[in-house]
Amino acid sequence: MAEIIVVTSGKGGVGKTTTSASLACGLARRGHKVAIIDFDVGLRNLDLIMGCERRVVYDFVNVVNGESSLKQSLIKDKRFENLFVLAASQTRDKDALTLEGVERVLNELAADGFDYIICDSPAGIEKGAYLSMYFADQALVVVNPEVSSVRDSDRILGLLASKTRHAEKGERIKEHLLLTRYSPKRVESGEMLSITDVEEILGLKAIGVIPESSDVLNASNKGEPVILDTESDAAQAYDDAVARLLGDTRPMRFISPEKKGFFSKMFGG
């Protein structure tokens, strides 16, 4: 049975699509069959980060409306044989998706033997976000360590607890916290919330902490999920998060300021 994971947040621009792409690649690299769906109808970005924007012929809305088959619309990743992308439409509005249509697509993916279905949610609480989380078994809540992002994510946690299929059955979906753009130096100087602060406010344990890094933007511009840049701290942090999601125990890295060496202290480096 396919495990459906929604990647969500209350606030835009926190790194949801970057996280969705890296999560999908991390799972595929471990041998799992993965589909990743862009629910952000009208503002499609996932295909750019996955590097397959020129290969989009049919999209998610085409499948929901019966204008194309799922097999016609899924784009096979060039790096992993077991990873497929279903792009969002750039020309429709949010109302183009329906609960019944989304359920049909998810059921067809499950029947095709997919192990994981990653739902890349739009920000906020409108229809696309609701549909992306409704069928989820797990949620990855992406948060920047600053007050407005944390507050908006608290609202999302309320929806996950009340507006999903699991909630209607009296069950809770598994919720995971992922902190992005984390800067230990700024935490130390009081400019940014600490991991502990965010965990206490949201009542969730962090499954991963992604350090602030220019590598993320550089990778996105190249059409390559940052997790594939193995030399990058951000890539290693994402790989750790994927491992923890699968039940492995790994120490949390990149959460303390780098200690200055003797010569740096002497010469102000």
Supply the pTM of this predicted model.
Answer: 0.94
Q: How far apart are CA 227 and CA 27, in angstroms?
A: 11
Across the chain, the runs of DSSP E, i.e. the strands, are 3-8, 34-38, 75-76, 83-86, 116-120, 138-143, 174-182, 206-211
| Neighbour tally for 99: CB within 10 Å | 13
pLDDT digits (tens, 9 = 90+) for 53-90: 999 999 999 999 999 999 999 999 999 999 999 999 98
Q: Cα 47–48–52 angle (5° rounding)? A: 55
pLDDT of residue 245: 98
Residue 206 main-chain phi, psi, to 5 deg: -75, 130
Residues 6 or more apart whose Cβ sits within 8 Å of residue 149: 9, 10, 11, 14, 143
Q: Cα 37–43–45 angle (5° rounding)? A: 55
Q: How far apart are CA 135 and CA 121, in angstroms?
A: 12
pLDDT of residue 90: 84
Q: Which pLDDT tens digits describe the chain residue by residue (269 residues)?
A: 899 999 999 888 899 999 999 999 999 999 999 999 999 998 889 999 999 999 999 999 999 999 999 999 999 999 999 999 999 998 777 778 999 999 999 999 999 999 999 999 998 788 889 999 999 999 999 999 999 999 999 999 999 999 999 999 999 999 999 999 999 999 999 999 999 999 999 999 999 999 999 999 999 999 999 999 999 999 999 999 999 999 999 999 999 987 655 455 555 55
pLDDT of residue 266: 52
Secondary structure (DSSP) of 160-212: HHHSSHHHHTT---EEEEEEEEE-HHHHHTTSS--HHHHHHHHT--EEEEEEP
User: Six-digit token pair at 190?
Assistant: 């009081």
Q: Which residues of 199-221 are buried (b: 16+ CB within 10 A; e: fewer)?
A: eeebebebbbbbbbbebbeebbe
Helix, strand, coil in percent for the chain, rounding step 5: 45, 15, 40
